[in-house]
Amino acid sequence: MSTETLAKKNIKIKVDEQILLKVLKLNDVSDSYVEWLNDFEVTKFTEQKYFTHTLENTKTFVSQKDESERDLLFGIFFNGTHIGNIKLGPINLEHMSSEVSYFIGEKKFWGRGIASKCVEAIVQFAVTELGLKKVNAGYYENNIGSAKVLQKCGFVVEGNRISQIIFENKRINHVLVGYVPN
């Protein structure tokens, strides 16, 4: 694998007949993408809710990730329409491990199994194409949807960062999960 694969950056992962993951490029940054990032319902379980997102700073983010040799930022495309993102990164080439994170921005696509399919596909890609030996993720303990997605994809709870997060004026845990291929 490795840096060669990461340097290519035109990677596409076919998830099924309708869903394609494609490394995001500047021209994928649209008004709707920026709107998702400013939608509290979409971001309330993520740190993105603390930022104001604009076309400009979203483009900067996408081009930084595109240039990074340690990140793969994919758009989730459903029948050709961008509906969310999934990121593998930062990728730690010393330890052959990575973080994964994701969101479905178009809310009408929630609850249709799309995040589960995309996480499963990206983990397979990480293991078989990049040779990674560990994939990590984390979620606010009350993010039931994300907990289910990760559990379905074979992630196991490795620990809790106790009282790490303030959510609606209460302190809650951040759950740490990991996937180790067989």
Ligand X SMILES: CC(C)(COP(=O)(O)OP(=O)(O)OC[C@H]1O[C@@H](n2cnc3c(N)ncnc32)[C@H](O)[C@@H]1OP(=O)(O)O)[C@@H](O)C(=O)NCCC(=O)NCCS
Residues that bind ligand X (CB under 6 A): 42, 45-46, 102-104, 110-116, 139, 143-146, 148-149, 152
Residue type for position 107: K
Rounded to a whole number of angstroms, the minimum distance from the CB of residue 48 to ligand X is: 9
CB closer to ligand X out of 35 and 131: 35
Residue type for position 137: A
CB closer to ligand X out of 72 and 118: 118
Per-residue buried b or exposed e for 143-152, using 16+ beta carbons within 10 Å of the residue's own CB:
beebbebbee
Rounded to a whole number of angstroms, the minimum distance from the CB of residue 3 to ligand X is: 28
- Residue reference for tokens 């606010």: 140
**Are 99 and 136 spatial neighbours (Cβ–Cβ below 8 Å)?**
yes
CB closer to ligand X out of 6 and 77: 77
CB closer to ligand X out of 145 and 181: 145
Residue type for position 106: E
Alpha-carbon distance of 114 to 142, in angstroms, equals: 20
Rounded to a whole number of angstroms, the minimum distance from the CB of residue 164 to ligand X is: 13
**Are 65 and 87 spatial neighbours (Cβ–Cβ below 8 Å)?**
yes
Supply 120's token pair. 């499963």
Rounded to a whole number of angstroms, the minimum distance from the CB of residue 47 to ligand X is: 10
CA distances from 25 to 28, 41, 42, 66, 151 (A): 5, 25, 22, 7, 30
Rounded to a whole number of angstroms, the minimum distance from the CB of residue 118 to ligand X is: 8
CB closer to ligand X out of 104 and 135: 104
